[in-house]
């Protein structure tokens, strides 16, 4: 009986235990259970409740446990655990239209010092590599330049660090630009309304809808430590780096919270890709409903130390990534305005 109640005890003892073992507090856990039941279509079985199988799922992702380990904790067969895991995973993925953040460009009345100079910006995007275990005959396609077997995941987030769009599944050998082109070409893919844009790093081209920094100039924040910005290009790159850092923080929190993303799992590659998406949805859920996140507090302290050292479906969207003189002039005008405003202060 003690083992059968193990998962439920994690959600009933205290918030600190629930956060430690399942990565969310008890109130957020209850919200999640309501969502997967009412929206995701998950149903209890004769021997297991929704709370138990959801806790099992979260525990597996948070600690990267195998089915046989979970089965031992719950006195369930490995087949039962695997079946319940798949059912919870599918129900979580049905919440994507609710948990992914809607588009909201930066407006003139923005008070955030990092973002107010980027009016019309929707957020930032970048790619990250997550280790996976593909079939043996597909490993060469997933091998990165550094020799790791990984999938290339495109992540897009808004200024307040909620994921807007996530595209996992591309082979690690694919470059970021190719993944981005695929994302905007899909029917339900990444949306970039005209006159809006995302911040991207120098690995992407500076094209309509995607604002990149100047190449050949200082960019990383540590490079500006003790250095006075002397040109509009340098000042633009510094402001760009401070704002775009939001997507790096998202990836850091995501991988730090869900240990299953830190090392390859032995699920099928399709299931591994779905797990990555589920972890991103959980990330948004936690940021939306959990009032206090100890992991985020620790990450913000580290960022402060580092810096001290230094949706609407209507309308037209960007459908291709092509550099243009018009967009280069847009960036030049923005950098000049930023630099002049800073010097005048």
The pLDDT assigned to 297 comes to 66
Taking 80 as the threshold, does the pLDDT of residue 299 lie above it?
A: no
180 phi/psi in degrees, rounded to 5: -65, -40
Instruction: Evaluate whether 134 touches 156 at the Cβ level (below 8 Å).
Output: no
CA gap 124, 197 in Å, rounded: 9
| Nearest-5° Cα angle at 188, 141 to 290 | 90
| Residue 333: alpha-carbon gap to chain centroid | 31
The pLDDT assigned to 183 comes to 96
Instruction: Evaluate whether 72 touches 270 at the Cβ level (below 8 Å).
Output: no
CA gap 209, 200 in Å, rounded: 10
The pLDDT assigned to 305 comes to 41
Q: Is 251 strand, coil or helix? A: helix
124 forms beta bridges with: 157, 199
- Looking at every residue in the chain, the average pLDDT score rounds to 88
pLDDT in tens, 221-262: 666 665 666 788 888 988 999 999 999 999 999 999 999 999
Beta-carbon contacts of residue 193 (< 8 Å; ≥ 6 apart): 103, 105, 122, 312, 315, 316, 317, 318
pLDDT in tens, 167-198: 999 999 999 999 999 999 998 899 999 889 99
Beta-carbon contacts of residue 297 (< 8 Å; ≥ 6 apart): none
38 phi/psi in degrees, rounded to 5: -80, -35
pLDDT in tens, 320-335: 788 888 899 999 999 9
The pLDDT assigned to 324 comes to 85
| Nearest-5° Cα angle at 220, 124 to 323 | 50
CA gap 235, 228 in Å, rounded: 9
- Residues of the chain above pLDDT 70, percent: 90
């Amino acid at each position: 009986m003690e083992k059968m109640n193990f998962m439920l005890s994690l959600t009933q003892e205290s918030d600190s235990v629930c956060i430690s073992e399942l990565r969310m507090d008890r109130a957020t856990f209850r919200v999640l259970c309501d969502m997967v039941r009412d929206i995701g279509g998950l149903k209890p079985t004769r021997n297991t409740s929704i709370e138990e199988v959801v806790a099992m799922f979260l525990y597996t992702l948070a600690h990267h446990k195998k089915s046989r380990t979970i089965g031992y904790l719950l006195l369930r067969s490995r087949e039962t655990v695997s079946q319940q895991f798949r059912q919870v995973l599918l129900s979580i993925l049905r919440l994507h239209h609710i948990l992914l953040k809607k588009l909201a460009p930066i407006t003139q009345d923005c008070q955030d010092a990092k973002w107010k100079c980027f009016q019309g910006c929707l957020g930032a995007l970048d790619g990250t590599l997550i280790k996976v275990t593909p079939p043996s005959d597909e490993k060469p396609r997933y091998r990165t330049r550094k020799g790791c077997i990984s999938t290339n995941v495109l992540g897009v987030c808004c200024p307040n660090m909620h994921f807007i769009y996530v595209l996992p599944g591309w082979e690690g050998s694919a470059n970021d630009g190719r993944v981005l082109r695929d994302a905007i070409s899909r029917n339900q893919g990444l949306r970039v309304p005209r006159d809006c844009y995302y911040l991207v790093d120098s690995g992407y081209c500076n094209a309509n809808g995607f604002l990149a920094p100047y190449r050949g100039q200082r960019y990383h924040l540590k490079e500006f430590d003790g250095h006075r910005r002397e040109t509009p290009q340098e000042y633009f790159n510094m402001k760009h780096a401070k704002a775009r850092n939001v997507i790096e923080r998202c990836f850091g929190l995501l991988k730090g919270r869900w240990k299953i993303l830190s090392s390859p799992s032995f699920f099928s590659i399709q299931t591994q890709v779905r797990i990555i998406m589920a972890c991103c949805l959980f990330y948004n859920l936690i940021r939306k409903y959990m009032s206090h996140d100890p992991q985020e507090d620790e990450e913000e302290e580290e960022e402060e130390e580092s810096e001290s050292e230094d949706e609407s479906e209507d309308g037209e969207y960007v459908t291709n990534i092509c550099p243009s003189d018009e967009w280069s002039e847009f960036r030049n005008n923005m950098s000049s305005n930023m630099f002049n405003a800073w010097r005048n202060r």
